Structure 1
Amino acid sequence: MITGVSKVVLTVRDCDAAKEFWVGRMGFAVETDAEYGEGARWLEVRSPSGVTLVLDGKSPDRAGDRSVPEELPHSNVFFTCEDIEKTYAELVERGVRFPQPPVKQPWGWWSLFEDQDGTRYALNQG
Structure 2
Amino acid sequence: MVHVLSSRTLLRPTDPERSRDFYQRQLGLAVYREFGTGPERGTVYFLGGGFLEVSGRSETPPSPAVRLWLQVADLAETHRELLERGVEIVRPPLKEPWGLVEMWIADPDGVPIVLVEVPADHPLRHRPGI
Give the TM-score taking structure 1 as reference length: 0.41
Larger radius of gyration: 2
Give the TM-score taking structure 2 as reference length: 0.40
